[in-house]
Structure 1
Amino acid sequence: MTPDTLLRRMFDKAVEVADPMQSLARVLPPKPEGRVVVVGAGKASARMAEAVEAEWGPCAGLVITRYGYARPCKGIEIVEAAHPVPDQAGADATLRMLALLEGLGEDDFVLALISGGASALLTAPAGDITLSEKQAVNAGLLASGAPIGQMNILRKHLSRVKGGQLAAAAYPARMLSLMISDVPGDDPALIGSGPTVGDASTPADARAILDRWKIEAAPSVHAVLAGETGVIPPDDPRLSQVENVIYAAPSQSLEAAAEIAAAAGYAVEILGDALEGEAREVAAEHAELARAAKGPRLLLSGGELTVTRRGDGVGGPNAEYALALAVALQGARGIHAIACDTDGVDGAAEVAGAIIGPDTLNKARAAGVDPSDALARNDAHSFFAAIHDQIVPGPTLTNVNDFRAILIEG
């Protein structure tokens, strides 16, 4: 097995073990008696709904997923909307979802299906904020380099559905929220901006994030953050009927990949499943670790890296990590790596990430592309397209965030 084949096999396995059709049934209880409503949002939510109906049969409900990620369901309505910047389809579907939860009683049951991407797909701007103004804030966040936790605090305070507000809308019905984690540390309050989880942050915290990351915002945004927002505190009685369960997480996918590498004779070192930081900086650190390591060895990591946009290129954190790693390694012998987002989308491109090896810079010279220039312009996707080393799996229907693997041959 070549190093590239082994790396791709590990990525595919990491995605497979997080597939709701493979993993959700073990945590799904028997279907309750009485009225049951299924709601949800995220890149994996349609697949989660499909898995639910495979066990429970047709159900009433509505789930919002990313364009191209719909799955066939017999009862649950699947709506596609935009990600990572929300659109009108997501806003309209969110209002319809909230209407489904109105008037539920103590004997009713709500199953919520939440995965990464729900922050953009569940869209109900607070106060007088318009959709276009919310879109502008979201785009500013994505370009700022802010970590996901900071992004989600601000998103919650600008929303009528995040930060526990979806659960509050269903009260007093019982709710089980099943989640796939795509956030460092697997904090349920951060997954999809925690629509079923209370949050202790304040409007002042959100204002500080606007200032810290220099996010331009409309007067309506500042007006909302100047008063009390709808974010639900963790001890609010309206959350007393909710159970939140994370049933798939990055650590499980890394462990599955590690088993493949171990079977192929590699010693495995997991650097962590919750790494954060600027993609190019983390890549430089990992290049040093790889150079110092004795093979055969595999360095695995997950989490969510960020990119501060400095140029006008097309890229994402995984492709930028791979490009920066290749530049730092300068063709070091025997070192191969892959960096992909498990949802199949790195940044806003329909590309999961890229693969590199000792010949990456030689390929670039032959193709007439400059790796340092591409890195300076945040143009990693164009770089890897030119040398034919992109990973393009299409919609994976799940999301446990970044997957990075560095193979050091003996």
Structure 2
Amino acid sequence: MTGQPLTQGLEPRALLRAMFDAAVAAAQPALCLPPHLPPPPRGRTLVIGAGKASAEMARVLERHWQGELTGLVVTRYGYAVPCERIEIVEAAHPVPDEAGLAAAQRMLDFVADLTADDLVICLISGGGSALLPLPAEGLTLADKQRLNSALLASGATISEMNCVRRHLSGIKGGRLAAACHPARVLTLLISDVPGDDPVDIASGPTCADATTCEDALAVLRRHGIDVPAHVRAVLESGRGESVKPGDPRLAGNEIRFIATPQMALEAAAAVAAEAGVPAHILGDGIEGEAREVGIVLAGITRQVASRGQPFAPPCILLSGGETTVTVRGTGRGGRNVEFLLSLALALNGLEGVHAMSCDTDGVDGQEEIAGAYAGPATLERARRLGIRPRDSLANNDGHGFFGALDDAVVCGPTLTNVNDFRAIFVEG
């Protein structure tokens, strides 16, 4: 960005993409991790971690660490980076696989027999739930895979999904930190969840968990998710209870946020300001059904465009968080493109409005596509190609829709993850 005012011809799509790139850059481990590193301990230093950003976090830690260390970190396929002293393992996301199961078991073995002089640095980012799929005793990986698929399709919030996952896990819900006792544990977090609650990031493997097995059962009932009797028994018996606040095994452990959705949105807003366009952050933790959020933000956009309320155009409406998609169709969906298609339909070609919605990890849903762009001509262009936008939305086929228009945003793995980026540019 050069600081040109909008009247000097700044192209809206280019501005939105520059803002997305700035949001991703603000959450890069190279920028945000080094200031949080502690001094070396008297004993050993072990590095563990899980998530889409964990491998890059490990590489940055290696480069800045003064002293010996060893480690084991698991990340999504395609997200590994070369490290010299920390082993990087790749596994499946969002539905877990055997590689993730083996890595989780190895991680527990890796932190056994530590002393109070040792330090464990745990690198956690979004995606860690699927990458650490070690089941509770009596359950199998197949049980976890079926449940994970059902949760993803149910419309449950990320907090609800992680509540269930914690109580059917052998490593989440504080269990990994408990296994490190009596060593000190420092957890460095890149948040991808609304509200930045550490217990919801990768289902909190090093965090005490105040929720209960009964809370997990309530989620299953609320969303009509049927589970086999032996899975339900883990919850009904209380055998799946997680590590609770006040547990002495977690005493003295520390959790630090190194990057959050709010930080990313503020970086995007700064790019807009440099371009001469005011940007307003509506919230960094917006949840709900993606298509419903699209309708609501379309209503706000119309009020801005027609009445200058609550903000006068030109301006940009920014938001983050994690919406959900209740899967009813068979299309190539993702929550960002589902939101964007719903927004475009609700705006119905409103002149002077452009929008971009992307996942900051570079993967929207299960596609290697970050998200997409929509403008005033989006619906008409689709119809000229014989595509019925409402049918695409009904079929959860956002990626198919925007891909046909060549409006997909593809950036590859970003090596970070601070959840969704949504920007609506009202030109005025």
TM category (shorter chain) comes to: over 0.9
Aligned mates of 2:276, 2:351 — CA distance in 1? 19
Partner of 1:263: 274
Q: Which moved more, 1:31-40 or 1:88-97?
A: 31-40
Aligned mates of 2:48, 2:355 — CA distance in 1? 38
Aligned mates of 1:75, 1:216 — CA distance in 2? 44
Partner of 1:320: 338
Partner of residue 236 from structure 1, selected from 228, 237, 247 = 247
Partner of 1:297: 315
1:254 aligns with 2:272: no
Aligned mates of 1:94, 1:189 — CA distance in 2? 18
Partner of residue 93 from structure 1, selected from 98, 103, 106 = 103
Aligned mates of 2:223, 2:253 — CA distance in 1? 33
1:184 aligns with 2:202: no
Partner of residue 393 from structure 1, selected from 405, 411, 414 = 411
**Structure 1: which 4+ aligned runs deviate by more than 3 Å?**
none
Contact 1:307 1:317 (C-alpha < 8 Å) held by counterparts: yes
Aligned mates of 2:42, 2:400 — CA distance in 1? 53
Partner of residue 212 from structure 1, selected from 203, 207, 222 = 222
1:4 aligns with 2:22: no
Give 3-state SS (helix, strand or coil) of 2:383's partner: helix
Q: What percentage of aligned pairs have identical amino acids?
A: 57
For 1:241, give the aligned amino acid: G
Contact 2:213 2:241 (C-alpha < 8 Å) held by counterparts: no
Partner of residue 61 from structure 2, selected from 31, 52, 73 = 52
Aligned mates of 1:230, 1:103 — CA distance in 2? 24
Contact 1:322 1:339 (C-alpha < 8 Å) held by counterparts: yes
Contact 2:72 2:107 (C-alpha < 8 Å) held by counterparts: yes
Write out aligned runs for 1:329-368 (5 A). Answer: 329-368=347-386
Aligned mates of 1:298, 1:32 — CA distance in 2? 47
Alpha-carbon shift at residue 367 of structure 1 (Å): 2.0
Write out aligned runs for 1:395-410 (5 A). Answer: 395-410=413-428
Alpha-carbon shift at residue 201 of structure 1 (Å): 1.2
Aligned mates of 1:17, 1:262 — CA distance in 2? 16
Give 3-state SS (helix, strand or coil) of 1:63's partner: strand
Alpha-carbon shift at residue 30 of structure 1 (Å): 2.7
Counting matched residue pairs gives 410
Contact 2:80 2:88 (C-alpha < 8 Å) held by counterparts: yes
Give 3-state SS (helix, strand or coil) of 1:106's partner: coil
Contact 1:159 1:230 (C-alpha < 8 Å) held by counterparts: no
Aligned mates of 1:66, 1:408 — CA distance in 2? 36
Aligned mates of 1:236, 1:227 — CA distance in 2? 21
Partner of residue 161 from structure 1, selected from 152, 171, 174 = 171
Partner of 1:198: 208
Partner of 1:22: 31
Alpha-carbon shift at residue 28 of structure 1 (Å): 1.3
Give 3-state SS (helix, strand or coil) of 2:214's partner: helix
Alpha-carbon shift at residue 230 of structure 1 (Å): 4.3
Alpha-carbon shift at residue 366 of structure 1 (Å): 2.4
Alpha-carbon shift at residue 220 of structure 1 (Å): 2.0
Aligned mates of 1:194, 1:373 — CA distance in 2? 38
Partner of 2:3: none
Aligned mates of 1:341, 1:33 — CA distance in 2? 41
TM-score, normalised via structure 1 length: 0.98
Q: Which moved more, 1:286-295 or 1:321-330?
A: 286-295
Aligned mates of 2:83, 2:423 — CA distance in 1? 35
Partner of residue 45 from structure 2, selected from 36, 43, 47 = 36
Alpha-carbon shift at residue 34 of structure 1 (Å): 2.3
Give 3-state SS (helix, strand or coil) of 1:383's partner: helix
For 1:73, give the aligned amino acid: C
Aligned mates of 1:156, 1:387 — CA distance in 2? 40
Aligned mates of 1:77, 1:239 — CA distance in 2? 25
Partner of 2:4: none
Alpha-carbon shift at residue 59 of structure 1 (Å): 2.8
Contact 2:212 2:241 (C-alpha < 8 Å) held by counterparts: no
User: What is the RMSD of the two structures over their aligned residues, measured on CA atoms?
Assistant: 1.0
Aligned mates of 1:21, 1:367 — CA distance in 2? 43
For 1:172, give the aligned amino acid: P
Partner of 1:113: 123
